[in-house]
């Protein structure tokens, strides 16, 4: 069981990153008319969903959380003052409103790139402070996955 509040908060924030990322990419996949972009956004959404399951399975019990994040736990709040910040997915935001506010595909990719870069730094930081080898390994794995998202999004922006 995690004994320190920082560890519990880290697990909660990691889950929020994945939930918000999943919702963001899922909505972008539904909204975009570009087939290639839709495929990439769907894959990114699936990756975030898989990451959330990994966090729920390995770390929710240790943090004293229920088996799954509940709708109440992921109820998203006001996003306006946070829009454009790289750590946006680490906050409680209204993803639907965020996607509606992004009227340009390049802007969507820029938001996605910034948030993925933040996620890489966040998970790398957690891997350093994690108390267990399993925690370090999982956070490094998540950081690597997020790095692959950065590469994919950079390619879409360049292409």
Dist CA 40 CA 46 (whole Å): 10
Print the domain residue range for 39: 5-158
- The CATH number covering residue 132 comes to 1.20.1260.10
Dist CA 53 CA 60 (whole Å): 10
What sign does the dihedral 5-84-136-45 (CA atoms) show? positive
Number of domains in the chain: 1
Dist CA 46 CA 29 (whole Å): 11
Residues 14-71: pLDDT tens digits? 888 888 889 888 988 888 888 888 888 898 899 889 888 888 887 777 666 665 554 4
pTM of the predicted model, to two decimals? 0.69
Residues 67-93: pLDDT tens digits? 555 443 333 333 323 333 445 565 555
């Amino acid at each position: 069981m995690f004994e320190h509040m920082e560890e519990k908060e880290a697990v909660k924030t990691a889950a929020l990153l994945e939930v918000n990322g999943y919702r963001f990419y899922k909505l972008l996949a539904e909204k975009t008319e570009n087939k290639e972009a839709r495929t990439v956004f769907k894959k990114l959404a699936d990756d975030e969903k898989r990451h959330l399951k990994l966090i729920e399975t390995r770390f929710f019990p240790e943090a004293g959380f229920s088996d799954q994040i509940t709708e109440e736990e992921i109820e998203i709040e006001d996003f306006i003052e946070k829009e454009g910040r790289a750590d946006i997915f680490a906050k409680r935001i209204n993803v639907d409103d965020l996607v509606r506010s992004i009227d340009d595909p390049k802007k969507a990719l820029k938001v996605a790139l910034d948030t993925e870069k933040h996620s890489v730094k966040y998970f790398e930081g957690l891997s350093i402070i994690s108390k267990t080898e399993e925690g370090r390994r999982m956070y490094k794995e998540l950081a690597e996955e997020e790095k692959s998202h950065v590469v994919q999004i950079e390619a879409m922006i360049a292409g």
